[in-house]
Structure 1
Amino acid sequence: MQIFSLLNGKVIVGGLALTLVAKAAMSFPELPMFKDTGITAPPSLVQTVAAKEKPPEFSNEIPPLVANLPKTTENCEAPEDVLISLNKERELVAKQRAELENQRAEFALAQERLGIEKTSLTELKTSIEDLLARVDAAQTDDLNRLIDLYTNMKPADAARIMDDLDIETTIMILGTMKPRTAAPILAKIPAVRARAVSKIILERSQLPGDQNLTGIKLK
């Protein structure tokens, strides 16, 4: 058994050696030791080996520094166009700013004019109020003096004069007098005019819409 195993091992080793020699002869047939052996390598194997031994070719294309960088299109604006657009935008902004400043100046001027007019109107209102107050005071003084005059008259004489006065003055005098002083004078006035005076004095205390002055006779 040992002899048989030894023979098998030698046979295997010999087969491996022959295989290696055959591969070497096929790969390198130009070596002197394999020229006369008659072993030729198939053309495909020789071409494969030659292709493997071919030096690598270098590409002239330079890879991009940043991957997936978007390519520049033909529609991209040139720097000159960008500068022109920026200048136009600056001019537009400057124009709008100038218009805004003008509007602000006009608004400030209008505000100043309104302030001056308001001051003038306030002064005019104060002057008118002062004038009306003086007129009212003068009228009150005149009315008081007139009332004093009619008060110091005899009722018959005062009634005779009031019968010829306009109705507004008669009502103003009698309406301002004390009732004890006005009663004797009103009693001496003709009945038709006395009724008119009494009706008007009564109705003037009512609101304008509630006054009823129809049917009043003065004579």
Structure 2
Amino acid sequence: MKKFAFLTGRSGRGSILLISGLLVGSAVLRIAIGAGQAVATENPTAMIEPTEPLTAQVAQPAPEEGREQLSKMLKSFQEREARLAKKENEIDMRMKALSVADQEIERRLANLKDAEDTLRGLMALANTAAEDDLVRLTAVYENMKPKDASALFEQMEPGFAAGFLGRMRADAAAGILSGLSPQVAYSISVILAGRNADIPEG
């Protein structure tokens, strides 16, 4: 019984010591956790140390990069200005070429008009000369003896002979027709009648 009581007494003290140790450890742990929360509350950023400066986290172009971009933009503007100047020069050259071409066309048209006027004058002179020649030749045939004139008209083409006879006086034309062969006289008469049929009646 003493032995059992002795064991029970020692076991009771050990349990008390164990429980006391656990309580003390719990208190220390609570004090440590409370102190950590207090520090975190007073300075939330104190526990987290940044790995790199804030300015390094924001991407900012370096001065060299900015100068390079400005240089590229300036070069692009200069190239564009050079292209525009080249196009403007080409347009000016084309406009000058067109102006020269217009002047040349106007000059040629003026020369053509002068040539046309000259040709018209020559044609008028030729027609006048031809008409004068026909008038004189018709007068010659009219003044010839009918027999001699008939011999000439017999050799003429009927249309050509009819042209002269149509210009002659009626008595001179009748004398020449009477001296022609019946076949030639008939051909010339038909042509003269056809020309007179085309004349409108008044």
TM-score bin (small chain): 0.5 to 0.7
**Percent identity of equivalent pairs:** 24
Name the counterpart of 2:39.
Answer: 50
Q: CA RMSD in A?
A: 3.6
Contact 2:159 2:191 in 1 (8 A): no
1:117 aligns with 2:108: yes
CA distance in 2, matches of 1:139, 1:109: 44
Which ranges of structure 1 fall in alignment gaps of 5 or more residues?
1-38, 63-69, 206-219
Q: Deviation string for 1:176-196 (max 9, x for gaps)?
A: 335565344223211232233
Question: Which amino acid in structure 2 is aligned with residue 136 of structure 1?
Answer: N
Name the counterpart of 1:34.
Answer: none
Name the counterpart of 1:18.
Answer: none
| TM superposition shift of 1:163 | 2.0
Name the counterpart of 1:191.
Answer: 182
SS in 2 for 1:78: helix
TM-score by length of 1: 0.57
Going from structure 1 to structure 2, the CA distance change for 1:203 and 1:108 (only over 3 Å counts) comes to: farther
Name the counterpart of 2:19.
Answer: none
Runs of 4+ in 1 over 6 A off after TM superposition: 202-205
Which is bigger in relative contact order (C-alpha 8 A, separation at least 6)? 2
CA distance in 2, matches of 1:85, 1:204: 86
Question: Which amino acid in structure 2 is aligned with residue 146 of structure 1?
Answer: L
Pick from 43, 49, 61 the counterpart of residue 54 of structure 2.
61
Pick from 182, 191, 206 the counterpart of residue 173 of structure 2.
182
* Mean CA deviation greater in 51-60 or 181-190: 51-60
TM-score by length of 2: 0.62
Question: Which amino acid in structure 1 is aligned with residue 74 of structure 2?
Answer: L
Question: Which amino acid in structure 2 is aligned with residue 81 of structure 1?
Answer: K
CA distance in 1, matches of 2:107, 2:157: 46
Map 1:8-87 onto structure 2 (within 5 A).
42-54=31-43, 60-61=53-54, 78-87=69-78
Aligned residues: 159
SS in 1 for 2:76: helix
Q: Deviation string for 1:20-71 (max 9, x for gaps)?
A: xxxxxxxxxxxxxxxxxxx875433332222112275698425xxxxxxx98
Going from structure 1 to structure 2, the CA distance change for 1:93 and 1:202 (only over 3 Å counts) comes to: farther
Name the counterpart of 1:26.
Answer: none
Question: Which amino acid in structure 1 is aligned with residue 105 of structure 2?
Answer: L
| TM superposition shift of 1:153 | 3.8
CA distance in 2, matches of 1:99, 1:51: 77
Going from structure 1 to structure 2, the CA distance change for 1:191 and 1:136 (only over 3 Å counts) comes to: same
Q: Deviation string for 1:167-209 (max 9, x for gaps)?
A: 564232123335565344223211232233345556789xxxx
* Mean CA deviation greater in 88-97 or 110-119: 88-97
Map 1:158-169 onto structure 2 (within 5 A).
158-165=149-156, 167=158, 169=160
